[in-house]
């Protein structure tokens, strides 16, 4: 993350320069979550309270900043998936990952777009995340807790779908709609649903 600074090593940068990098990264985090991956450099600079000149002096490019910010969250997701694999109860592991995963997606519009692809950003964490999900679903399949006729790709798609619709037919979703949707989907996925 600190590697965003253009000229690394050399000398310690001035205090205001360091402070502004921090502000820019913070602003980028909230901005990409609220606005999406198409958030402009000017908007991030405005939120950070710095000029656009400072933005381009501190950050190699708008893309690099967004990729760095999104990479943080993706790494977190992969870590959650890894921990879920260790759960002795495969179904609980899957549901706990699913909940964390969907919650992160619901909290960040930009992350949601990034996971959907076609946003021009380069995100190397996508493949590892996909692999972890496949393993996790495989686990659940072997334990017989997940419907056998549902391949792991379908799990990826339904989990992705759960966060997307914040409004429909004039209805406005509450902040926890993703949780309600997820419960329905998980019940639909469970091989032995508890009603």
Residues near DNA, by CB under 7 A: 13-17, 19-20, 40-42, 49-54, 56-58, 61-63
Tell the smallest beta-carbon distance from residue 49 to DNA (Å).
Answer: 7
The conformation of residue 59, written as its DSSP 8-state character, comes to S
- Neighbouring-strand partners of residue 167: 172
From the list DNA, a second copy, none, pick the one residue 15 interacts with, judged by a Cβ distance below 5 to 8 Å according to partner type. DNA
- Contact (CB, 8 A) for 61 and 73: no
Distant-in-sequence, close-in-space partners of 80: CB < 8 Å, separation ≥ 6: 96, 97, 100, 101
The item of DNA, a second copy, none sharing an interface with residue 49, based on CB under 5 to 8 Å by kind, is DNA
Considering the complex, what minimum distance in angstroms separates the CB of residue 122 from DNA?
14
Closest distance to DNA from the beta carbon of 59 (Å): 9
Please name the residues in contact with 115: beta carbons below 8 A apart, sequence gap of 6 or more.
105, 126, 160
Q: What distance in Å separates the CA atoms of residue 106 and residue 84, rounded to the nearest whole number?
A: 20
Task: Name the residue nearer to DNA (CB basis): 33 or 94.
Answer: 33
| Under rule CB under 8 A, residue 184 binds a second copy | yes
Helix, strand, or coil here: 146? strand
- Residues 124 and 129: their CA atoms lie apart, in Å, by 9
Question: Which residue, 20 or 112, has its beta carbon nearer to DNA?
Answer: 20
DSSP run (H or E) holding 94: helix 90-107
Per CB under 8 A, contacts with a second copy among 32-91 are none
If one asks whether residue 150 binds a second copy (CB under 8 A), the answer comes out as yes
Residue 86 CB, shortest distance to a second copy, in Å, is: 21
Distance from C-alpha of 12 to C-alpha of 10, rounded to nearest angstrom: 7
The 10 Å Cβ neighbour count of residue 52 is 13
Q: Is 167 in the site for a second copy (CB under 8 A)?
A: yes
Q: Select from DNA, a second copy, none the partner in contact with residue 162, using the beta carbon and a kind-dependent cut-off of 5 to 8 Å.
A: a second copy
Q: How far is the CB of 82 from a second copy (least distance, A)?
A: 16
Which stretches of the chain bind a second copy, using CB under 8 A? 115-118, 126-127, 129-130, 133, 147, 150, 153-154, 156-171, 173, 177, 180-181, 183-189, 193, 195
């Amino acid at each position: 993350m600190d590697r965003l600074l253009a000229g690394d090593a050399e000398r310690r940068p001035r205090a205001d320069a360091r402070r502004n990098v921090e502000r820019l990264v913070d602003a980028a985090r909230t901005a990409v979550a609220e606005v999406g991956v198409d958030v402009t450099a000017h908007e991030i600079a405005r939120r950070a309270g710095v000029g656009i000149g400072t933005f381009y002096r501190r950050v190699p490019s708008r893309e690099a900043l967004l990729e760095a910010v999104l990479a943080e969250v993706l790494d977190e997701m992969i870590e959650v998936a890894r921990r879920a694999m260790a759960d002795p109860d495969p179904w609980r592991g899957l549901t706990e990952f699913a909940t964390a995963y969907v919650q992160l997606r619901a909290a960040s519009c930009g992350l949601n777009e990034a996971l959907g692809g076609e946003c021009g950003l380069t995100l190397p964490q996508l493949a590892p995340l996909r692999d972890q999900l496949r393993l996790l679903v495989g686990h659940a399949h072997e334990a017989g807790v997940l419907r056998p006729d549902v391949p792991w790709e379908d799990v990826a798609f339904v989990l992705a779908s759960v966060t997307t619709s914040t409004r429909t037919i004039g209805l406005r979703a509450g902040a926890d709609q993703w949780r309600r949707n997820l419960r329905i989907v998980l019940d639909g996925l469970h091989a032995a649903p508890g009603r």
